[in-house]
Amino acid sequence: MNEKKLKSLRKEIDLIDKKLLKVIIKRSSIVKKIGQLKDLSKGVVDKKRENEVLNKLIKFHKGEYSKGSIIRLWREIFYSSAQLQLKKQNTLIPKRGVESIKVYKGGTAKIAGKENIIKLSSNESPFGPSKKAIEAYTRTATTLSRYPELTADSLELSISKKFKINKDQIICGTGSDEVLIFTALAFCSPGDEIIHAIHGFEMYPIITKYAGAESVLASEKDFKISIKSILENIRSSTKIIFIANPNNPTGTYLNKKELFSLIKKVPKNIVVVIDTAYAEFADAQDYDYGFNLVDNFENVLITRTFSKAYSLAGIRLGWGYGSKKLINILKRLRPPFNITPGAIAAGIEALKDKEHLQNVIVHNKKVKGWFISELNNIGLKAYDTQTNFVFVIVPEKNNLNALKVNEFLLSNGIAVRYLESYGLKNAIRITLGTKEELNKTLSTIKKLYKKND
């Protein structure tokens, strides 16, 4: 009985599919005509028009398929339309989104003609790694003909003990970047959306495109991400929200209460990633240092890194903490042996070396207030920070601006981060290096301002 009914329903599906295909074929012929009218040199994609079409469709959609699926279907149709207007075929074409990835630039690491530069461009630790971590890393050298542990099990165990959290809920990555990449790849199909701040970490839009997804930018108030804007931008194709907390490159943060109230309002099928790469440097009373959000929300992922306060950027090691359900999904995308033996060994020892970590944090706390006020005295606008860097707006005056400050510092062997690639042409970011490095930086900036006075 059921079999017969199934057969007749499937026949109905077959007829509908035929009809669908016919309409799609018809659509493609009109798209072709439109292509002939367009000036191809200006590009064929009209994002505004696409969004209008999508919004209308979602409004009109009342069926059983999810709205997210409708968006993905039409984005595939848009993509196919663009391809056909560009007349590309029989040649290598990457998947949607890949062609428009802006390759990550990173902080300046070399200055032509200069040998011992002061590198304050990548928020690295100025004191070198923990000696114990160095020793542990060195010991792995003779074992390198063997593959590492498949899943960095011993390191996960160390992390779980150190932070008193559940081992099964930890995933390690080559830098927290890799954990973010797993998340995007696990949850986003092409056509889906990821929300992040307009001035968030430079990797967020790149990672979004790795997955073929689309960035949706949340606005900010005084360089702090707006919760209201995040919530307003959520729709059926939103899969992930990336929040750097504290934020890179602005040093701002959402406090415990703000985070909680945001996450409470986010639908449970959207992953909220709280990227706390700079957590160890935060000293605000109301900053959320813990992992409690994970206990309360299955859809929250908190990431941490060994690159900043633990002073081990070179081993490429970060980790994420989330619900078992979430972590088990991410683990499916973790390539085997992703963490090297040197990173496992150094990571375990760095976690034990409380003194080294403490020295790094104490130094940072010591210099940040002083450095910020010195910059402000010169006439720049340096913001308060919860990190190991300072965000600085350079007012346009006396023929000076952020670009010129950056160039003058470079010509004096000092590399800071000019934030043009973050869409902030009037700002620089300066890592809190040693007192000596910061003094040199201040005197160099002063020299420039005196010259232009």
Let me know the angle formed at the C-alpha of 312 by 201 and 256, rounded to the nearest 5 degrees: 45
| Identified binder of a copy of itself from the candidate list 41, 112, 115, 145, rule CB under 8 A | 145
By beta-carbon proximity to a copy of itself, the closer residue of 37 and 453 is: 37
- Cα dihedral value 26, 32, 33, 38, nearest 10: 150
Select from 160-168, 221-229, 322-330, 443-451 the region that touches a copy of itself (CB under 8 A): 322-330
Q: Please identify which residue in the block is written with the tokens 């130094």.
A: 363
Nearer to a copy of itself by Cβ, of 271 and 375: the residue is 271
Cα first-last separation, the chain: 91
- Footprint (CB under 8 A) of a copy of itself, residues 169-228: 174-175, 177-178, 181, 185-190, 192, 203, 210, 212
Closest CA to 415 of 124, 203, 177, 128: 124
CB 163 within 8 A of CB 213: no
> Cβ 214 to a copy of itself, closest distance in Å?
14
DSSP 11: H
d(CA 73, CA 159) in angstroms, rounded, equals 42
Among the residue ranges 120-128, 286-294, 420-428, 433-441, the one whose residues contact a copy of itself (CB under 8 A): 120-128
134 binds a copy of itself, rule: CB under 8 A: yes
Smallest gap from residue 65 Cβ to a copy of itself (A): 4
d(CA 291, CA 302): 7
Residue 219 · residue 229 · CB < 8 Å? yes
* Cβ nearer to a copy of itself, comparing 170 with 448: 170
Q: Which of residues 17-76 bind a copy of itself (CB under 8 A)?
A: 17-21, 23-34, 37-38, 49, 53, 56-57, 60-66, 69-70, 72-74, 76
In this structure, the strands spanning 170-173 and 318-322 are antiparallel
Number of residues that bind a copy of itself (CB under 8 A): 134
**Which one among 42, 146, 164, 450 touches a copy of itself, defined by CB under 8 A?**
146
CB of 260: closest distance to a copy of itself in angstroms? 19
- Asked if 174 contacts 338 with a C-beta cutoff of 8 angstroms, the reply is yes
240-269: which residues touch a copy of itself (CB under 8 A)? 267-269
Find the binder of a copy of itself among 138, 154, 255, 296 (CB under 8 A).
138
